């Protein structure tokens, strides 16, 4: 008994430098660092005083980061501004143990999928994003909680997504209206769509728009070893690759004739996949080397409609998800796993009990071993569907690789809907959010 | 120069907090930056180096780690990695605590890193309630501090109409 008491005092008296070493081990990514820091600071007095707050941690990168604009040198327009690299984090939320002594380490309830972007670190303000789709983030659904407390919930970080937005120079100088800053490209899309419907598209505007549009971003960084390793690979100008290293003045275009759909950082290198499924590796010499040949039987042109996604699985393999878009009845996904020795994509019909989330701008994977309430070998993705008024809309879709069934989660896996809407265990919280 | 003469026998004795003595080959002891600095600066002081903060059980573990790493030299990194992961595998939290303190005190960076990583893996993604339970740490906040902690953990969402 006495020994236990001694132990109690021991851990709370862990020397500061050891605690900081542990904190560094916990946070392999900058995205995880914030939450891990909060958790450690919440344990007891001495830990709270030993671990500096996330905002005080000088060596950690704080998003959003400003990057130079444009990526291609000598653009044929005079648009000025900069890029802003934002980081969003995807979490699974589960109820925290109400009585610590009876807490199982793995909760059996279905987790709630939450994606947030930090808006104001000082004030703890966050912007919720749609986990899978980058559209329809303007309005938050009515049921969404106004605030959450990390102490009441089990947060598991399951993914990190990066996006690059263009910030117009005017917005930067006035600097007053933050929302306008973010919406420059969105505003141009609307203008261009209006113009195209009246068949009077402004060519300069179209060029400007193209140079500000970043399709996908992959980031590699090790937050604790200084910022020197931090690098960005972006797909811009409808399929071209550009590389940027923190501190550099300019982007370095990766010269290549292909048209890329997705890029990830995997095992210390950047991998990009083109519209035919061919994959290249970009190493420190910044040249794209063909490493996987295109998928066979892919005669379709760059506008064939299929979209290729790269997914890093939890067991450290690289997968290619080929999305055949369309409305409910047509849409389906085909999945290929990279055979590292033969350098080939191999079609698979199971994911080793992994679950994939293939969003418009981010892909991530979880294991059913970590989240037993999930159904394995399923892929969730945004699905085009039509709402009550017949307007085009997005809903959450699922494909079960085992039986090939594919459709809206609401219809095909109604029991999994709490993952995308508010779960009952969160609803039943005391009505603290009510005014 | 002069320092190396005394230790030409390539052995030295370490004494644990509970009085047990360990005869250690010098190249094994050199895994510890603390011992290295002691040997470099002054070796004439004593034949026995006391380690008043480290008990015999922990010291035996530490020296086992040092011997493996000293003998394996640079060639067999793969073997060392598997040794490292086995080394801490079934260790209880009490022993791990003593080990991480010893590694920190004796300045054995490799051991400190794997012990800290093991602790980090144990608490990764766990709510603070469970972390407290694992480490037998009491919630010692005053109500005011508790309120500050809650406020720090509160996320307010923006974007409502």
pLDDT of residue A31: 67
* pLDDT above 50 (res A287): yes
Q: Give the pLDDT confidence of A91-120 residue by residue, as tens digits.
A: 999 887 765 444 444 556 889 999 998 776
Q: How far apart are CA B153 and CA B147, in angstroms?
A: 10
The C-alpha of A45 sits at a distance from chain B's nearest C-alpha, in angstroms, of: 6
Contact check, Cβ <8 Å, A147/B155: yes
At A221 the pLDDT is: 67
Q: Which residues have C-beta within 8 Å of that of residue A351, sequence separation ≥ 6?
A: A313, A319, A335, A365, A376, A377, A379, A401
Q: What is the CA radius of gyration of chain A?
A: 23
Mean pLDDT of A165-173: 74
> What angle (nearest 5°) sits at the alpha carbon of residue A27, between those of residues A124 and B94?
115
Nearest to A125 among B137, B138, B158 (CB): B158
Nearest CA in chain B to A25: B117
Mean pLDDT to the nearest integer, A275-282: 91
Mean pLDDT, rounded, for B2-30: 78
- Residue A182 pLDDT class (50, 70, 90 cuts): low
Tell me if A308 sits within 8 A of A277, measured CB to CB. yes
- State residue A2's pLDDT score: 41
Answer whether residue A223 shows pLDDT above 80: no
Residues A31, A308, A252, A229: what is their CA dihedral angle, to the nearest 10 degrees? Answer: 30
Per the model's pLDDT, the better-predicted residue between A281 and A394 turns out to be A281
Q: What is the ipTM for the molecules in this complex?
A: 0.86
Residue A15 token pair: 């020397």
Q: Which helix (H) or strand (E) holds A148?
A: strand A147-149
Q: What pLDDT, on the 0 to 100 scale, is given for residue A227?
A: 39
- B109 vs A: CB within 8 A: no
Between residues A176 and B95, the one the model is more confident about: B95
Q: What is the pLDDT of residue A4?
A: 47
Region A322-334 average pLDDT: 77
Interface contact flag, B145 A45, Cβ < 8 Å: yes
A8:B136 CB<8 A: yes
Region A132-136: mean pLDDT is: 71
pLDDT at residue A432, as a whole number: 47
Question: Contacts of residue B132 in chain A, CB cutoff 8 Å?
Answer: 43-44, 100
Q: What is the mean pLDDT of chain A?
A: 81
Report pLDDT digits (tens) over B104-125: 999 999 999 999 999 998 888 8
| Inter-chain residue contact A39 with B126, CB threshold 8 Å | yes
- Give residue A20's pLDDT: 87
Q: H-type helices in A201-279, by residue range? A: 203-212
pLDDT at B161: 56
**What is the distance between the alpha carbons of residues A40 and A94, in angstroms, rounded to a whole number?**
19
Name every chain A residue with its beta carbon within 8 A of the beta carbon of B113.
21, 25
Most confident of A246-260, B35-49, B79-93, B100-114: B100-114
**Mean pLDDT estimate for chain B:** 85
Of residues B78 and A298, the one with the higher pLDDT is B78
Phi and psi at residue B160, in whole multiples of 5°?
Answer: -80, 145
- Whole-number percent of chain A with pLDDT over 70: 80
- Nearest CB among A25, A96, A137 relative to B129 is that of A96
Q: Looking at residue A1, what is its pLDDT?
A: 39
CB–CB contact A97 B129 (8 Å): yes
CA–CA separation, B94 vs A87, rounded Å?
A: 38
CA pair distance A295, A345, nearest whole angstrom: 7
Given pLDDT bands bounded at 50, 70 and 90, which one contains residue A302?
Answer: very low
- Give the highest mean pLDDT range of A20-34, A61-75, A367-381: A367-381
Residues 6+ apart with CB under 8 A from B111: B62, B65, B66, B99, B103
Q: What pLDDT band is residue A377 in, cutting at 50, 70 and 90?
A: very high
Query: How many pairs of residues across A and B have Cβ atoms under 8 Å apart?
Result: 154
Instruction: Give, to the nearest 10 degrees, the angle between helix A16-26 and helix A30-41.
Output: 140
Tell me which of A61-70, A298-307, B71-80 is least confident: A298-307
Cα–Cα distance between B127 and A90 in angstroms, integer? 17
Amino acid A224: pLDDT: 33
Q: Is B89 on the interface with A (CB under 8 A)?
A: no
Which residues of chain B have a CB within 8 Å of the CB of A91?
none
Arithmetic mean of pLDDT, A320-332: 77
Percent of chain A with pLDDT over 90: 27
Q: What is the pLDDT of residue A12?
A: 84
Q: How far apart are CA A271 and CA A288, in angstroms?
A: 9
- For residue A98, the model assigns a pLDDT of 64
Q: Which residues of A, range 131-160, sit inside 8 Å of B by Cβ?
A: 137-140, 144-151, 153-157
Q: Render pLDDT for A36-55 as a digit per residue (tens, 0 to 9).
A: 888 889 999 989 998 888 77
φ/ψ of B22, rounded to 5, equals: -125, 125
Q: Is the pLDDT of residue A343 over 50?
A: yes
Contact residues on chain A for B161, CB-CB shorter than 8 A = 139
A25, A44, A139 ranked by CB distance to B120: nearest: A25
Give one DSSP letter per residue of B91-116, joined into a string.
--HHHHHHHHHHHHHTT-HHHHHHHH
Q: What is the pLDDT of residues B45-66, one digit of tens each?
A: 567 888 988 999 999 999 999 9
Who has greater pLDDT, B74 or A163? A163
Task: Kindly tell me if the per-residue pLDDT of B142 is higher than 90.
Answer: yes
Question: Which residues in chain A are contacts of B116 at CB distance < 8 A?
Answer: 18, 21-22, 24-25
User: Over 50: is that where the pLDDT of A349 sits?
Assistant: yes
Residues of chain A in contact with residue B139, where contact means CB-CB under 8 angstroms, are 44
Give the closest of B129, B130, B161 to A139, CB-based. B161
Confidence category of residue B160, pLDDT binned at 50, 70, 90: low
Interface probe for B, chosen from A39, A142, A182 (most Cβ of B below 10 Å), is: A39
For residue A3, pLDDT beyond 60? no
């Amino acid at each position: 008994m006495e020994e236990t008491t001694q132990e109690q005092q021991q851990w709370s008296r862990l020397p500061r430098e050891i605690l900081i070493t542990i904190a560094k081990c916990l946070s392999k990514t900058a995205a995880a660092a914030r939450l891990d820091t909060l958790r450690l600071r919440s344990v007891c007095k001495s830990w709270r005083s030993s671990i500096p707050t996330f905002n005080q941690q000088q060596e950690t990168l704080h998003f959003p980061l400003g990057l130079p604009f444009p990526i291609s040198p000598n653009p044929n327009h005079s648009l000025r501004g900069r890029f802003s690299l934002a980081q969003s984090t995807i979490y699974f939320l589960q109820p925290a143990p109400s009585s610590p002594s009876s807490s199982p380490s793995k909760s059996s309830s279905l987790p709630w999928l939450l994606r947030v972007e930090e808006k104001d670190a000082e004030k703890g303000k966050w912007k919720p994003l749609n986990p899978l789709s980058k559209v329809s983030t303007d309005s938050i659904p009515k049921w969404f909680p106004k605030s959450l407390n990390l102490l009441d919930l089990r947060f598991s970080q399951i993914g990190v997504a990066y996006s690059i937005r263009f910030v117009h120079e005017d917005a930067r100088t006035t600097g007053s209206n933050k929302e306008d800053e973010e919406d420059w490209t969105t505003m141009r899309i609307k203008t261009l769509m209006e113009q195209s419907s009246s068949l009077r598209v402004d060519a300069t505007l179209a060029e400007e728009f193209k140079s500000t549009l970043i399709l996908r971003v992959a980031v590699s960084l090790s937050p604790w070893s200084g910022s020197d390793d931090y690098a960005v690979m972006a797909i811009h100008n409808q399929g071209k690759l550009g590389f940027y290293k923190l501190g550099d003045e300019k982007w370095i275009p990766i010269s290549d004739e292909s048209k890329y759909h997705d890029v990830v950082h995997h095992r210390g290198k950047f991998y990009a996949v083109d519209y035919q499924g061919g994959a290249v590796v970009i190493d420190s010499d910044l040249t794209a080397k063909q490493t996987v040949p295109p998928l066979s039987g892919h005669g379709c042109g760059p506008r064939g409609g299929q979209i290729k996604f790269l997914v890093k699985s939890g067991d450290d393999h690289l997968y290619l998800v080929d999305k055949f878009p369309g409305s409910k009845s047509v849409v389906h996904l085909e999945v290929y796993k990279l055979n590292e020795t033969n350098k080939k994509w191999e079609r698979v019909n199971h994911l080793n009990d992994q679950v994939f989330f293939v969003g418009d701008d981010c892909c991530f994977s979880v294991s059913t071993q970590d989240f037993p309430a999930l159904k394995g070998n399923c892929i969730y993705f945004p699905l085009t569907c039509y709402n009550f008024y017949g307007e085009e809309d997005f809903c959450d879709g699922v494909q079960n690789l085992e039986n090939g069934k594919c459709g809206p989660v609401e219809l095909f896996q109604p029991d999994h809907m709490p993952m995308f809407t508010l779960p009952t265990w969160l609803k039943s919280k005391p009505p603290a959010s009510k005014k | 120069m002069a320092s190396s003469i005394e230790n030409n026998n390539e052995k030295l004795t370490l004494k644990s907090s509970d009085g047990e003595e360990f005869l250690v080959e010098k190249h094994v002891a050199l895994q510890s930056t603390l011992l290295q600095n002691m040997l470099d600066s002054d070796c004439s002081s004593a034949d026995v180096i006391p380690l008043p903060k480290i008990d015999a059980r922990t010291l035996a573990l530490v020296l086992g780690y040092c011997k493996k790493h000293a003998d394996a030299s640079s060639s067999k990194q793969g073997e060392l990695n598997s040794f490292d992961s086995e080394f801490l595998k079934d260790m209880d939290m009490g022993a791990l605590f003593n080990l991480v303190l010893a590694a920190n005190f004796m300045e054995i960076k490799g051991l400190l890193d794997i012990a800290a990583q093991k602790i980090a893996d144990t608490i990764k993604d766990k709510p603070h309630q469970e972390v407290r339970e694992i480490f037998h740490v009491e919630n010692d906040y005053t109500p005011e501090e508790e309120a500050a902690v809650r406020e720090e953990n509160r996320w307010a969402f923006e974007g409502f109409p």
